[in-house]
Amino acid sequence: MAGITSYFAPRDTKKSVREAIVGLRTQLSIIDKAEAHLHRKVALELTTAKANAVSNKPLATACLKRKRAGEAQLEQLRGSVASGEIEQEIADLISNSSGIDVAGDEELMDELRALEDELLSERLAGAEHVPIHTPDAGGSPSTEYRRPVADRDPEVDEELRQLQAEMAM
C-alpha cells in the first residue's frame, strides 16, 4: 500500500537529488576500490606467471588466464566508471538551481521576437486594403473599406466627386 501512496504524496526533489548524488559518489568510490584491487590482482598473477614460467608451466598458464580475466574485468569496470561519470555530470546538472541556461533563454526570446515580426509582416503584406474609421452621425464609428489607390479608376473617382457635389446642394 505504501507504493501507491508514494505516487500521490508530494516529493522533496532537493532531497531526492541529494540522495542520488550521494549514491553516485559511493558507487564511484566502490568502483575505484575495486579497480585498485584488480590492478593488484593482475600484477600478482603476472609476477606469479613470470616466477613459474620455466619450472611450472601449467601454473604459469593458469596465472596468465587469471591475469587476462582480471584485465577483462578492469575493462568492464572502466566502462562502468565512464557511465558513472556521465551519471555524475547529469546529477550535477540536475542539482543546478534552475537547470536552464540563461543565455539560451535570451536566444530563445530573440528567436521568438523574430518569428512574431515575420508573422506580422506576412499578415500586413497579405492585406488588400486598410479599414478607415469615420464617425457616424449617431456617434458610433462606422467602418468603410476603400480599395488601394493603385486599383482605383480615375473616371470612377470623378463620377463619385460629382455625385457628392450634387448631394451636398
Average pLDDT value over all residues in the chain: 75
Q: Residue 52 domain-assigned?
A: yes
- For 23, the domain range is 9-99
Question: How many residues does this entry show for the chain?
Answer: 169
Does the residue 94 lie in any domain? yes
Asked which of 54-58, 102-106, 108-112, 154-158 is least confident by mean pLDDT, the reply is 102-106
Domain count, the chain: 1
Question: Among 34-43, 96-105, 146-155, which stretch is predicted with the lowest mean pLDDT?
Answer: 96-105
Which residue would you say has higher pLDDT here, 73 or 12? 73
pLDDT of the residue at 43: 95
| Per-residue pLDDT tens digits for 79-131 | 877 776 777 777 777 666 454 555 566 777 777 777 778 777 877 777 666 55
107: its cell numbers: 536566444
Residue 45 included in any domain:
yes
Angle between helices 57-95 and 13-51 (to 10 degrees): 160
Percentage of the chain surpassing pLDDT 90? 12
pLDDT tops 80 at residue 40: yes
152 falls within a domain: no
User: In this structure, are residues 27 and 84 in contact, taking their beta carbons and an 8 Å threshold?
Assistant: yes
Would residue 126 count as lying in a domain? no
Whether 105 is in a domain gets the answer no
Q: How far apart are CA 78 and CA 70, in angstroms?
A: 12
3-state DSSP assignment of residue 165: helix
Q: Residue 107 falls within a domain, yes or no?
A: no
Domain with residue 19: its CATH number is 1.10.287.1060
Q: Is it the case that residue 33 has pLDDT exceeding 80?
A: yes
CA–CA dist 169, 110 (Å, integer): 59
For 142, phi then psi, to 5°, come to -115, 155
Assigned domain for 139 exists: no
State whether residue 26 is helix, strand or coil.
helix
